């Protein structure tokens, strides 16, 4: 009897499986992810009403989630002109490759595509563009504005001093064109980036370098032209992606999950529980848990922005400001936490205040745990200063680094004041009392004193860099002199140890700490993100935080509309920086690719 029941059950199972009425059609699920914005480094503040600024970590994390999600069969990337540099580009491309390594195809859909859009798209399995689309891959171009003639008309005197013939941060204010050293440096950097562009596209699209160069020189391209050149795979509208992803499986049901793995904020404040949650957020608490994670971890400290003394903030002219006090506090917190076994410093900074750079270097020098650096889009001058004492430096191939040099000076505004009808009476004591005055340029005595001080800072910089890189001072000094290198160039001359991503740096730090580099590595992200109320109001009132938020929004908008206008804002920030700090370890420029 038992045998008969079993046989009947088996027969019923077979009938159900074979009957088309009962059988379920195979299903496919595609994760739809948009790539847009600036992808800031570090923890980003949560929006009060549910919006979250997507950071580089959360953006690449969504791709990693799709790679590891057994329910996801494919990924669709919607590329919307991200404003990112070479390092962030490489991080995103690496994430795409991790999806592909799990046997899942990645489809890129783009309409009006910049070079950065296409460099991400070319790493995908198929690139799709509508027939009205345009590919704006037309090469690379460096545009540097010079303000000397403007200053002459305004009767503003730019008094600039520098140590290192390649330290060209002062040139836009004192010259009308590039110096030979500045031009040589820019030519080398553009060559390195351009060659990387050509080699990457050629490898991705299975074209020769000659074909890619011809495509660049004849750009921009319509979708039809790009398809004929082998730059894209299909011409189709976004709604036609369903058929493309299905491929030959026409009967397969495809579900596209838009906004896949995008973080959403719980904004349900109803009831007593909601009120408690709201109060916790207002007081700066964590709404998820108040229990510290006891597991071993690697602290990732994000050092992002122009270096200045004080706390980190967003400034109207300088953009993100990397406050020395904020980073020192984060370093000490990580060093004192017994669950933190190693520290990774993620640097995305062109430098700034020499004083703040040195104080951060000292705090990092005293770290008693494995200390590894990961360089982002730029880690130059002061950004290199805070990195050079680490156990190992990882850079991306396109990272801008080096710029070991010093610049200082001031702007004399007395002529401009007189034009405006403003007169000033000066009473002074001390031979060099006017060294920081913005009325006039330096006297001979003041210039001599400033020059002596800048050389002292340069010697301090190069001595510490030589020690950190295990080089003779004379050998390091030849590599210094304010010269900027890409990550690939820096590796060849010994200024960095290895090319790799942030993940590579974290794994290496874990290995140095005796942790399993191939296991799941817990991370403590520092400095922590501010909660929604603090982001909006701040601890002592609304004005400062609202100004910072408005400044960040304005800078992002200007950068998106006109990178040239953003460059002028950055140029104006030099006056602000020099008013706070007469000695700057600052990279002279920032290259962006559109």
pLDDT digits (tens, 9 = 90+) for 361-374: 999 999 999 999 99
Give the pLDDT score at 262: 84
What does the pLDDT look like over 251-300, one tens digit per residue?
Answer: 788 999 999 988 765 555 566 666 665 555 555 445 444 457 899 999 99
User: Which of 291-305, 335-349, 365-379 is the least confident region?
Assistant: 291-305
d(CA 391, CA 510): 12
- Mean pLDDT (the chain, rounded): 85
Q: Residue 175: what pLDDT?
A: 95
Those residues whose C-beta lies under 8 Å from the C-beta of residue 238, and which sit 6 or more positions away, are 78, 109, 130
Residue 71: pLDDT band (50, 70, 90) is: very high
Q: pLDDT of 90-136, one tens digit each? A: 999 999 999 999 999 999 999 989 999 999 999 999 999 999 999 99
How many angstroms separate the CA atoms of 387 and 468, rounded? 9
The residue ranges of every structural domain in the chain are 22-138+219-258, 295-586
User: Which one, of 30, 196, 40, lies nearest residue 99 by Cα?
Assistant: 30
- pLDDT computed for residue 136 by the predictor: 96
Min mean pLDDT across 198-212, 306-320, 571-585 is at 571-585
CATH of 295-586 among 3.30.1550.10, 3.40.50.10680, 3.90.226.10, 3.40.50.1240: 3.90.226.10
The sign one gets for the Cα dihedral 438, 443, 449, 451 is positive
Domains 22-138+219-258 and 295-586 share a fold: yes
Question: Mean of the pLDDT values across residues 321-343?
Answer: 97
Closest CA to 358 of 482, 451, 447, 456: 456
The answer for residues whose C-beta is within 8 angstroms of residue 201's C-beta and 6 or more apart is 118, 119, 122, 137, 207, 212, 215, 231
* Fold classification of 22-138+219-258 (topology level): 2-enoyl-CoA Hydratase; Chain A, domain 1 (3.90.226)
What per-residue confidence (pLDDT) applies to 373? 99
Across 1-5, 271-275, 351-355, 443-447, least confident range: 1-5
Q: Which residue has the tokens 């706070």?
A: 580
Label residue 54 by pLDDT band (50, 70, 90).
confident
What is the full DSSP assignment across 253-279? Answer: EEEEEETTT---------HHHHHHHHH
Contact 117, 82 (CB under 8 A): yes
- The Cβ of residue 417 has, within 10 Å, a number of other Cβ atoms equal to 16
387 neighbors 349 (Cβ within 8 angstroms): no
Provide DSSP, 537-564: H-TT-SHHHHHHHHHHHHHHHHHHH-HH
For the ranges 497-511, 516-530, 562-576, which has the lowest average pLDDT? Answer: 562-576
Q: Which of 317-326, 408-417, 550-559 has the highest mean pLDDT?
A: 408-417
pLDDT of res. 580: 61
In terms of Cβ atoms closer than 10 Å to its own Cβ (0-12, 13-18, 19+), residue 311 is middle
Per-residue confidence (pLDDT) for residue 263, from 0 to 100: 73
**Greater model confidence, 177 or 22:** 177
Span of 4-8, 25-29, 466-470 with lowest mean pLDDT: 4-8
Which tokens belong to 246?
A: 């299905």
**Is it the case that residue 224 has pLDDT exceeding 50?**
yes
Q: Could you tell me if 71 and 29 are in contact, meaning their C-beta atoms sit under 8 angstroms apart?
A: yes
């Amino acid at each position: 009897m038992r045998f008969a029941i079993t046989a009947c059950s088996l027969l019923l199972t077979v009938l159900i499986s074979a009957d088309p009425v009962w059988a379920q059609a195979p299903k496919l699920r595609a994760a739809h992810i948009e790539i847009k914005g600036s992808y800031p480094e570090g923890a980003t503040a949560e929006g009060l009403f549910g919006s979250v600024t997507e950071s580089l970590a959360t953006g690449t994390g969504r791709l990693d989630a799709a790679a590891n999600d057994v329910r996801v069969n494919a990924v669709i990337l919607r590329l919307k002109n991200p404003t990112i540099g070479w390092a962030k580009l490489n991080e995103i491309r690496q994430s795409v490759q991790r999806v592909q390594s799990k046997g899942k195809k990645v489809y890129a859909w783009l309409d009006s595509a910049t070079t950065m859009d296409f460099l991400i798209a070319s790493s995908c399995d198929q690139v799709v563009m509508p027939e009205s689309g345009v590919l704006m891959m037309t090469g690379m171009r460096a545009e540097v504005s010079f303000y000397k003639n403007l200053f002459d008309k305004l009767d503003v005197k730019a008094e600039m001093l520098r140590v290192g013939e390649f330290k060209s941060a002062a040139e836009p204010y004192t010259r009308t064109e590039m110096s030979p050293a500045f031009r040589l440096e820019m030519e080398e950097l553009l060559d390195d980036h351009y060659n990387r562009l050509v080699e990457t596209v050629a490898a991705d699209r299975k074209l020769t370098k000659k074909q890619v160069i011809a495509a660049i020189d004849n750009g921009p391209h319509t979708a039809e032209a790009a398809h004929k050149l082998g730059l894209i795979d299909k011409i189709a509208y976004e709604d036609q992606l369903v058929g493309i992803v299905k491929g030959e499986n026409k009967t397969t049901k495809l579900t596209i999950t838009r906004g896949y793995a995008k973080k959403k904020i719980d904004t349900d404040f109803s009831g007593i529980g909601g009120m408690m949650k709201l109060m916790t957020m207002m007081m700066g608490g964590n709404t998820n848990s108040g229990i510290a994670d006891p597991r071993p971890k690697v602290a990732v400290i994000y050092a992002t922005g122009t270096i200045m003394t004080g706390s980190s903030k967003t400034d109207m002219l300088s953009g993100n400001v990397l406050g020395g006090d904020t980073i020192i506090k984060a370093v000490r917190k990580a060093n004192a936490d017994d669950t933190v076994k190693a520290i990774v410093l993620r640097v995305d900074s062109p430098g700034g205040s020499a004083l703040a750079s040195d104080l951060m270097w000292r705090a990092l020098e005293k770290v008693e745990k494995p200390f590894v650096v990961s360089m982002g889009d730029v880690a130059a001058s002061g950004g290199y200063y805070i990195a050079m004492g680490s156990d190992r430096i990882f850079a991306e191939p396109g990272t801008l680094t080096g710029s070991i040099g010093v610049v200082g000076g001031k702007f004399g505004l007395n002529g401009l004041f007189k034009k405006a009808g403003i007169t000033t009476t000066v009473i002074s004591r001390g031979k060099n009392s006017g060294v920081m005055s913005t009325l006039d340029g330096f006297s001979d005595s003041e210039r001599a004193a400033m020059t002596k001080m800048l050389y002292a800072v340069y010697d301090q910089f190069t001595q510490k860099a030589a020690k950190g890189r295990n080089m003779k001072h004379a050998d390091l000094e030849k590599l210094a002199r304010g010269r900027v290198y890409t990550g690939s160039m820096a590796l060849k001359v010994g200024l960095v140890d290895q090319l790799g991503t942030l993940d590579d740096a974290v794994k290496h730090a874990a290995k140095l700490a005796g942790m399993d580099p191939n296991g799941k590595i817990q991370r403590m992200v520092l400095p922590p993100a501010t909660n929604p109320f603090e982001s909006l109001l701040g601890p002592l009132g609304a004005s400062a935080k609202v100004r910072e938020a408005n400044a960040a929004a304005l800078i992002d908008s200007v950068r998106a509309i006109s990178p040239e206008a953003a460059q002028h804002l950055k140029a104006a920030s030099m006056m602000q920086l020099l008013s706070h700090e007469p000695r700057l370890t600052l990279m002279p420029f920032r290259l962006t690719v559109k």
